[in-house]
Amino acid sequence: MKTVAVLIAAAVAAPAIVNAHGGMVVPVPRAIKTKGLDIGSTFGHPIAMRGNCFDFPAAADKQSIPVGTSKIQLRANDGANHIGPCTMYLVNPADRNKKQQVGQLNDCMRSLHPGAGKYGDAPIPGEMTINVPANPEVCSKDHCILEFYWEATHLQPHELFNNCADVSIAGGGGAPAPAPGPAPAPGPAPAPAPAPAPAPAPAGGAGGFVYSGPARPDSAAMTTWCNQNCPGFCPGDICKKA
């Protein structure tokens, strides 16, 4: 009977160990924004437990992401910052098989916390860089799905995770500019002006912007993210001037 009791206790305790994990939190994924899953647990469950993010309701309001390089924010719950590669894609909203890779990082969940976390730890932040084209090959700049795909390799078979965010791409597209007309004949060269004094360097991340969203355990990491991305990409509901 003692052996049976021990086995039952272990079976009851086991699900708590796998009910954490994590994923992308900025841009805010469908799992949180439209599906209403808990950022502290269910939003970051494996695809096999939680479902594929492409099957979650699309968000009517698109989050803007900039052309070029920017950082997305990640979160691992309960110390589950597992090893494994992470890949970012732009995806056609009408056909999830049409994807364009815009980022890749091995062990992305350990990007800001190199060591393995422990069950019960506070949320562990992470980040990775994406490079967004002005004119994506697979979707309109007015609506793409930004997919975060994580293959956690700490187990066999590997655990698979994804998060989807409905986004628009700021500053891209448009027709090419018309060819310029012939240049006028040059006039006499003006006298050289004195060199201007160098402009003061812009303020760095420290103190320039702060996280302004709801209270969360990793608010300090979100302030770091605001300073890395603002003012070029500065969502008003997440960041503000200090």
- Structural domain range at position 104: 17-172
Please list, in sequence order, all residues whose beta carbon lies within 8 angstroms of the beta carbon of residue 228, skipping any fewer than 6 positions away: 71, 127, 205
How many structural domains are present in the chain?
A: 1
Looking at the domain assignment, is residue 108 inside a domain? Answer: yes
Looking at the domain assignment, is residue 181 inside a domain? Answer: no
Whichever domain contains 152, its CATH number is: 2.70.50.50
**Degrees (nearest 5) of the Cα angle 44, 10, 160?**
25
Looking at the domain assignment, is residue 5 inside a domain? Answer: no
Please list, in sequence order, all residues whose beta carbon lies within 8 angstroms of the beta carbon of residue 99, skipping any fewer than 6 positions away: 89, 90, 91, 92, 138, 147
- Read off the pLDDT of residues 88-143 as tens digits, 9 standing for 90 and up: 999 999 999 999 999 999 999 999 999 999 999 999 999 999 999 999 999 999 99
Looking at the domain assignment, is residue 43 inside a domain? Answer: yes
- Read off the pLDDT of residues 172-223 as tens digits, 9 standing for 90 and up: 444 334 445 555 556 565 556 555 444 443 344 446 888 787 776 677 777 8
pLDDT category of residue 17 using cuts at 50, 70 and 90: very low
